[in-house]
Amino acid sequence: MVKIRRAYEALFLGLFLFFLIITDLRYLRGWPVSLFLEATPLVAVSTALTTHTLYRNLVWGLVVIAITMMVGRVWCNWMCPFGILHHLFGWIGNRRNTKQMIEVNRYRKIYAIKYYILAAMLVMAGRWIVPATWAAPGDIVAAYKQSHASGVGRLTGAVGSGLSRAISESKTGSSTLQIGLLDPIALTVRSMTTSVLPTVHTATEGIYTEPREYMWGWIVGVIFVGFLVANWWIPRFFCRAICPLGALLGLFSRFSLWRIDRDPVRCTDCDLCLKSCEGASDPQGDLRKSECFVCLNCIEDCPHDALAFRFLPRKASEVTYPQVGRRQLMMAGLFGLLFYPMTRQSGLVKKNFNKAVIRPPGSVAEDEFLRRCIKCDQCIRVCPTNVLQPAMFEAGLEGLWTPIMVSKMGWCELNCTLCSQVCPTGAIREISIAEKLGTGPFEAKGPIKTGTAFYNQGRCLPWAMDTSCVVCEEVCPVSPKAIFTRNVEVTSRWGETLELKRPFIDPVKCIGCGICEHECPVKDDPAVYVTAIGETRDKSRSLLLSLVEDPQAQELVSV
């Protein structure tokens, strides 16, 4: 059995790395490269909480939940690439003798921390329940008054429609999605994308065509390596103590029909089963069902065949529920409740929105974006120009490591929608080239704008330094160009007459792709630069009245 498991581990880690490598313009084709991100049930559950919908392939998460409800947390030791990496790192760093190994694999109280982390994150995601509860009585009364039905039907109808109204009204502006910080897949993809792969590339030159650079990527890398190295002191430290996905699966594994069971007669209490126990789930006593990774090592290690993976064993010999402290759980919930109001103090979502938070095309409006983005940085991985960067605090504490476009690093390629194709949660919803450019059926709606370019005339060569340039006009990809020039005649310092083309922006045509900023020869602080105003994803951030939607422009779905 353990050999089969090892084969699966190799298979799933290999598949993950394969998908990671081919998340690239050159190899992408039709591969489901975001499969692992879509399969983590934590993403499914928490985005269902924040958005009340389940985006596209996130149903895979439900399949994993279903598997967990049958056979327990097999995800953690058979499928999860981060778990498998931990397994590998623990094995590499293991210099203990048998006795030490037994001791280090006993259950510890700190392994309950993951449940508090999960609680805090789910409360953050479901915080809309609070305003919905306040609004519900009023909405139910209003629905009752409006209803024309009679009797019981009127009451139940009013309760139903009042509740759904209260819920949908409370959805926006009251919750935030933070599971991505610690969801193992999001964390691994993010770490690979923004630090591991660029580092490996610099060493081997074998991954990208052009080297990639990511601002503050090293912080992500240090955290990633830190978690891996932690295995040398506490095996599977991340999985046992931190992983909120493990905690979620731990809750679901209480239903599992199969589990490790100890034969109390055959067992001689030698504790050898603890030697390679990955989950620290006490197979030598009453099994902690929520902690067991179903690695099956204990069965292999038992000298008396006292352990078996059994169908519906006795209830009496298991610890069904995770052991958590009620007070700690309440404190975690309270933290989750207050986190959102605290982070929104920055005003960065509405009034004080940051000009540097330029989201990739297809992104939904900022509030919704923060309720969908899991910071997996898969979009950053696939972006062919390096323009997408993990944000630090530009988008607030909530927006840590979410994608923003930094035009000095790259530009948004006109005929490219790769980021929208790989996004697992619809924070960047899938768009077609036609929708991005506003052609064909999207003619009336116009192109997707990510921002608007402006000139800093004090730094622009033809504006400030009597020098011809207009590289910006040359590279402007839209047709007709958003950058146009006006000819002027000036007298130079030495008295000659110079003819100069001075560039201007047509804000109607500009889509904010940033290639002008990227190519501007005034490299350090470009004379033409893009800011977020005018982005089409949010009506309240529009700049020109003439671009406000046309009624003929129906909500068309791309692709």
Does 35 bind other proteins (CB under 8 A)? Our answer is no
Cβ at position 429, least distance to other proteins in Å:
3
Q: What residues between 66 and 105 interact with other proteins by CB under 8 A?
A: 66, 69-70
Q: Does 531 bind other proteins (CB under 8 A)?
A: no
- How far, in Å, CA of 313 to CA of 256, rounded? 11
Does 551 sit near other proteins (CB under 8 A)? yes
173 binds other proteins per the rule CB under 8 A = yes
What's phi and psi for 430, nearest 5 deg? -70, 125
Which CB, 14 or 303, lies closer to other proteins? 303
Please check whether residue 450 is in contact with residue 443, taking contact to mean a CB–CB distance below 8 angstroms. no
Q: Which of 4, 7, 334, 557 binds other proteins (CB under 8 A)?
A: 557
Residue 176, class by beta-carbon neighbours within 10 Å (0-12 exposed, 13-18 middle, 19+ buried)? buried
Toward other proteins, which CB reaches closer, 168 or 209? 168
Residue among 44 and 387 whose Cβ is closer to other proteins: 44
Q: How far is the CB of 335 from other proteins (least distance, A)?
A: 25
SS3 category, 222: helix
**Is 11 an interacting residue with respect to other proteins (CB under 8 A)?**
no
Answer yes or no: are the C-beta atoms of 117 and 47 closer than 8 Å.
no
Residues paired with 501 in a beta bridge: 487
- Does 164 sit near other proteins (CB under 8 A)? no
CB of 430 within 8 A of CB of 558?
yes
200: Cβ contacts below 8 Å, ≥ 6 apart: 206, 207
Compare residues 71 and 225 and give the one whose CB is closer to other proteins: 71
- For residue 491, list its beta bridge partners: 497
CA distance 432 to 429: 10
- Contact stretch for other proteins (CB under 8 A) within 14-22, 23-31, 56-64, 519-527: 56-64
Please report the beta strands in 235-374, taking only residues with DSSP state E, as ranges in sequence order.
258-262, 287-288, 307-311, 318-319
Among 73, 262, 289, 481, binds other proteins (CB under 8 A): 262
Least distance (Å) from other proteins to the CB of residue 400?
22
435 binds other proteins (CB under 8 A): no
Residue 555 contacts other proteins per CB under 8 A: yes
d(CA 124, CA 118): 10
544 binds other proteins (CB under 8 A): yes
Which residues are CB-neighbours of 309 under 8 A, at least 6 positions away?
1, 258, 259, 260, 261, 294, 296, 299
- In 199-298, DSSP assigns E strands to 258-262, 287-288
Q: Which residue from 148, 152, 204, 265 is in contact with other proteins, where contact means CB under 8 A? A: 265
Q: Residue 256 half-sphere exposure, CB side, CA atoms within 13 Å?
A: 33
Verify binding: residue 424, other proteins, rule CB under 8 A.
no
Residues 289-318 that bind other proteins (CB under 8 A): 304, 310-317
Q: Which residues sit at the interface with other proteins, rule CB under 8 A?
A: 44, 48, 51-56, 58-59, 61-63, 65-66, 69-70, 168-169, 173, 255-257, 261-268, 304, 310-317, 364-365, 368, 372, 426, 429-430, 540-546, 548-551, 555, 557-559
